[in-house]
Chain A
Amino acid sequence: MTAIGLAQIAIILFAVIAAAMPLGAYMARVMGGERTALTPALAPVERAFYKLSGVDPTREQNWPSYTMAMLAFSLVGFLSLYGLQRLQGFLPINPQGLSGVPADLAFNTSISFVTNTNWQNYPGETTMSHLTQMLGLTVHNFVSAATGLAMAFALVRGFARNESSTVGNFWVDLTRAALYVLLPLSIVLALAFVALGVPQTLAGSAQATTLEGIDQVIALGPVASQEAIKELGTNGGGFFNANSAHPFENPNALSNALEIWALLVIPFASVFAFGRAVLDPRQGRAIAAAMAIVLIFGALFVYWAEAAGNPLLTDIGVDPSPGNMEGKEVRLGVSSTALFATATTGTSCGAVNAMHDSFTALGGLLPMFNMLMGSIAPGGVGAGLYGFLVLAVIAVFVAGLMVGRTPEYLGKKIETREMKLAMLAVLIYPLTVLGFTAASVMLQTGLASMNNAGPHGLSEVLYAFASANDDNGSAFAGLSGNTIWYNTTLGVAMFVGRFLFVIPVLAMAGSFATKKKAAASVGTFPTHGPLFVGLLLGVIIILYLLQYFPALALGPIVEHLLMAAGRTF
């Protein structure tokens, strides 16, 4: 670890927080239906959307209706994306002449993009036509992120409102999140990426003759426009197979810093927006602080692990001073790669600027644990905020048990129903992660996909299901996921991780909204100070370490010990 490496991490994180505060204030106005600086330009588009789709923006929905609208929209998205992939061979804007995507892969990819996961069992440049990338994948990058923000603000309204039967209107939330937040930021960022060297063309590829006279086909495409929303929407699906390690997706250190900034800024801004919406910015700052602590700890941990290099290679004479360079790019280096890996798994982004599969055992453990915790530091667009608020409810409940008072969060009593819903949400993850991982390592078809032997093989499978469940999408990419077994099970895990988590969350939103907001008294446990931040972190660590420690011990932890002992597989 070097001072310059630490400074790189500090500068990027500072830029995130500095931008997230004003952006949070803006987002609170957008999601509150208020007028903003962009209203004159965007209001006509917004009104046209409501008019054409027959939505009355003034009519609010109760939680079941809000949920049904979200599910209907997701189903339509799933079916249209599936159809587009299957039929791409017959459709235009396909300069490479790619044929239709097979059924199991199209199923997996459709769920993947509708759930904001962007798990990719395919190499982008050799599988998806430009039409599919634009009409399918880019569109879902926008709408799945906007759907996440909508659901988060439905929960925020549950806390903010007093005896209300409604939680907002899904169509209005979706439209405003996409039009006022995601689209303007994407336009600015996409143009910045082009200025830094990211291609943006409809051409399929360029033909070059290298200095040594060999033909080199260089894949191209509308990369910058997808790159921008890929990070901003915490989607993470790369245009190219190597994702943000590819020099066209991430040409230099500045584009790399900008990508990390973009994937963190909306999740942090959402938390500040939450503070404003409940009329107590301190509440948002406390949650942001807890998230930032997990993020910074993670980045330093990965940096420490990767900077040490791989002892097995040091033994045969490789200079360990640049760190573990297998799977990493020279221009990006170890420190900003460590921050990228932590940020992309601390959010549900899943973009990678290096191959996580080739990280050292402990360097790979942290991103995996980040996802097993549900990617909550600071979490995906929308998903991070609602995921963290569920944990806040559990933390307040634990505090209530300790002092023997009815727990309250933001003036809302937490009772049996809310606790059951919160537990239902957090217990769904281990069921699919551990269940599918166990099944995969017992089946020949599951084992055959591993790229690495020994404990690292188990890590590949565990990482895959953690990533799918959590709707993250990053991978220990050596695992050949494009098989019927993994396409299906990972698809199911992504579906469960998104929808079976968020339905209890929306039910909580409805339940909290109907409650009366109690005024704070001397006996109220304050949820904005360091004590609460500490309690929250304690609850998170205990909850998730207990669930996953045995699995992690068999994968990365035992691999670390064997690596130190010089064992190879």
Chain B
Amino acid sequence: MLSHFRPAIVMMALFTALTGVVYPLAITGVSQLASAERANGSMIERNGVILGSSLIGQNFISDRYFHGRPSATVGYDPSDASKTIDAPYNAANSAGSNLGPTSKKLVDRVNAAIEAEFAAGRIDVVAADAVTTSGSGLDPHISPQFALAQIPAVAKARGLGEDRIRLLVEQHTEGRLMGVIGEPRVNVLMLNIALDALK
């Protein structure tokens, strides 16, 4: 057994150097040179301010914006760091609800979300993504069904015609890759940025 320890220790050191230092640093170097924008997280800037990442969802509560999905992420309670509080779209700590299919909490939460969306006039048929939390809590997308349902409420809040907003939603609806892979979706942040740019 003891005779195996020299190769074990040396091999571990060598693999640490090769796969733990050279490999990630080389990939970092090449990525930063070849596509720095993506390698740094696909950040979006407007007037010199970083608005967020086009890949990461944000919490929208204003009537003037399209809303994303509910999010189950939490954050530390600022008044007591040993506790956590709801912090939707906390991109420093991704998480899902992990509520099982027969969870009473899940059914109650979905029920409350349905009522809230109806009250805000954002739903006609309840799209599944509109009332369920995503796996990451950071889902940047909603289904076209949920986006279309929100058009009247957003148009009203902005005092704009529904047709103009519908056109914008259609422009921001992405299809399946080659018509097969993936699902149709709308990136909420990108849509809302475009909405802000409307005159």
Q: How far is the CA of A210 from the CA of B90 in the complex (A)?
A: 12
Q: Is the CB of A559 within 8 A of B52?
A: no
Q: Is the CB of A563 within 8 A of B56?
A: no
Q: Is the CB of B12 within 8 A of A77?
A: yes
Q: Which residue of B lies closest to A10 (CB)?
A: B180
Q: Which residue of A lies closest to B5 (CB)?
A: A72
Q: B158 an interface residue at 8 Å Cβ cutoff?
A: no
Q: How far is the CA of A456 from the CA of B105 in the complex (A)?
A: 13
Q: Is the CB of B31 within 8 A of A224?
A: yes
* Residues of chain A within 8 A of B32, CB atoms compared: 200-201
* Residues of chain A within 8 A of B95, CB atoms compared: 123, 241-242
Given known contacts A200-B28, A206-B43, A208-B53, A49 and B181 CB-to-CB distance under 8 angstroms: no
Q: Is the CB of B128 within 8 A of A322?
A: yes
Q: Tally chain A residues at the interface, Cβ within 8 Å.
A: 131
* Distance between A304 CB and nearest chain B CB, rounded to angstroms: 15
How many A-B residue pairs lie within 8 Å, measured between CB atoms? 389
* Distance between A324 CB and nearest chain B CB, rounded to angstroms: 7
Q: Which of A203, A208, A218, A327 contacts B133 (CB 8 A)?
A: A327
Q: Which residue of A lies closest to B19 (CB)?
A: A142
* Residues of chain A within 8 A of B116, CB atoms compared: none
Q: B150 an interface residue at 8 Å Cβ cutoff?
A: no
Given known contacts A326-B132, A333-B182, A212 and B94 CB-to-CB distance under 8 angstroms: no
Q: Which of B4, B52, B137, B145 contacts A210 (CB 8 A)?
A: B52
Given known contacts A123-B95, A355-B135, A456 and B103 CB-to-CB distance under 8 angstroms: yes
Q: Is the CB of A245 within 8 A of B134?
A: yes
Q: Is the CB of B27 within 8 A of A316?
A: no
B residues 121-176 with Cβ under 8 Å of A? 125-129, 131-143, 145, 176
Q: Is the CB of B99 within 8 A of A222?
A: no
* Distance between A71 CB and nearest chain B CB, rounded to angstroms: 8
Q: Is the CB of A242 within 8 A of B94?
A: yes
A residues 315-334 with Cβ under 8 Å of B? 316-333
* Distance between B89 CB and nearest chain A CB, rounded to angstroms: 7
Q: A485 an interface residue at 8 Å Cβ cutoff?
A: no
Q: How far is the CA of A183 from the CA of B23 in the complex (A)?
A: 8
Q: Is the CB of B91 within 8 A of A225?
A: no
Q: Which residue of B lies closest to A457 (CB)?
A: B100
Q: Which residue of A lies closest to B189 (CB)?
A: A211
* Residues of chain A within 8 A of B24, CB atoms compared: 134, 138, 222, 225-226
Q: Which of A7, A143, A209, A332 contacts B49 (CB 8 A)?
A: A209
Q: How far is the CA of A253 from the CA of B176 in the complex (A)?
A: 8
Q: A525 an interface residue at 8 Å Cβ cutoff?
A: no
Q: Is the CB of A136 within 8 A of B53?
A: no
Q: Is the CB of A326 within 8 A of B181?
A: no
* Distance between B119 CB and nearest chain A CB, rounded to angstroms: 14
* Residues of chain B within 8 A of A245, CB atoms compared: 94, 96, 134-136
Q: How far is the CA of A245 from the CA of B136 in the complex (A)?
A: 5
Q: A445 an interface residue at 8 Å Cβ cutoff?
A: no
Q: How far is the CA of A194 from the CA of B31 in the complex (A)?
A: 7
Q: How far is the CA of A333 from the CA of B181 in the complex (A)?
A: 10
Q: Is the CB of B96 within 8 A of A242?
A: yes
* Residues of chain B within 8 A of A202, CB atoms compared: 28
Q: Is the CB of A216 within 8 A of B97?
A: no
Q: How far is the CA of A16 from the CA of B126 in the complex (A)?
A: 37
Most buried by A among B5, B100, B125, B127: B100
Given known contacts A54-B7, A208-B50, A225 and B96 CB-to-CB distance under 8 angstroms: no
Q: Is the CB of B176 within 8 A of A190?
A: no
Q: Which residue of A lies closest to B186 (CB)?
A: A330
Q: A275 an interface residue at 8 Å Cβ cutoff?
A: no
Q: How far is the CA of A256 from the CA of B135 in the complex (A)?
A: 14
Q: B198 an interface residue at 8 Å Cβ cutoff?
A: no
* Distance between A73 CB and nearest chain B CB, rounded to angstroms: 4
Listed A/B pairs (23) with beta-carbon separation below 8 Å:
A52-B10, A53-B14, A72-B4, A135-B20, A138-B23, A183-B23, A200-B39, A210-B52, A212-B65, A222-B28, A226-B24, A253-B183, A313-B110, A318-B128, A327-B134, A330-B139, A330-B183, A355-B135, A357-B100, A358-B99, A359-B101, A361-B102, A569-B102
Binding site for A on B (CB under 8 A): 1, 4-12, 14-16, 18-21, 23-24, 26-28, 30-32, 34-35, 38-43, 49-53, 55-62, 65, 69, 89-104, 106-107, 110-111, 114, 125-129, 131-143, 145, 176-177, 179-183, 185, 189, 192-193, 196
Binding site for B on A (CB under 8 A): 4, 7-8, 11, 45, 49, 52-55, 68-69, 71-73, 75-77, 80, 123, 125-126, 134-136, 138-139, 141-143, 171, 174-175, 178, 183, 186-187, 190-191, 194-203, 205-212, 214, 216-220, 222, 224-226, 229, 240-242, 245-248, 251-254, 256-257, 309-310, 312-313, 316-333, 336, 352-355, 357-361, 364, 451-456, 459-460, 476-478, 559, 562-563, 567-569
Nearest first, the 3 closest Cβ-Cβ pairs linking A and B are A253-B182, A245-B135, A478-B98
Beyond contacts A53-B14, A201-B41, A313-B107: 10 other A-B pairs, Cβ-Cβ < 8 A, are: A11-B180, A178-B19, A191-B27, A200-B32, A222-B28, A251-B42, A254-B182, A325-B129, A326-B101, A562-B102
